[in-house]
Amino acid sequence: MQREARTVEALIRRYCRDHHNSAPELCEDCRQLLAYARKRLHHCPFQDRKPTCGKCPIHCYAPGKREQIRAVMRYSGRRLLLSHPVLALLHLLDGLRKPPSGKASGPA
Ligand SMILES: [Zn+2]
């Protein structure tokens, strides 16, 4: 879960920098989104066993936040895909991109 927390932070930072012109700090919105995402990861009752969030019975992202995070994923996910362990996170957040099967674990 730690790795996911770091990945989501990297994604949000990238998105914020390119969209909100607020580097190196996050703008208020993105800071809140990051805090929210971390909290959700932290509180997910499934933790390591959890299914993708798309299939998760608990839709833990509030609708507004969900839209925000999806926009971030869509934008930053593609850009950071090659340099960050983002596949697992995209898998968790589902739907945007299906990772190749069997590639979501282990070091590259
Ligand atoms: Zn921002």
CA–CA gap between residue 30 and residue 27 (Å, rounded): 5
pTM: 0.61
Q: Which pLDDT tens digit goes with each residue over 82-96? A: 555 555 565 556 554
CA–CA gap between residue 14 and residue 6 (Å, rounded): 12
Mean pLDDT of 70-78: 81
Q: Within a domain: residue 85?
A: yes
With residue 68 as reference, give the H or E element that holds it.
helix 63-80
Q: Within a domain: residue 40?
A: yes
Q: Within a domain: residue 106?
A: no
Enumerate residues with CB within 5 Å of ligand 1 (an ion): 16, 20, 27, 30
CA–CA gap between residue 34 and residue 94 (Å, rounded): 18
Q: Which pLDDT tens digit goes with each residue over 1-60? A: 567 788 888 889 889 998 998 767 899 999 999 998 888 877 766 555 555 555 555 556
Residues in the chain: 108
Q: Which pLDDT tens digit goes with each residue over 32-49? A: 999 988 888 777 665 555
* Domains: count for the chain: 1
Domain of 74 in residue numbering reads as: 2-94
Tally the C-alpha atoms within 13 A of residue 11's C-alpha that lie toward its C-beta: 31
Alpha carbon of 44 to ligand 1 centroid (Å): 25
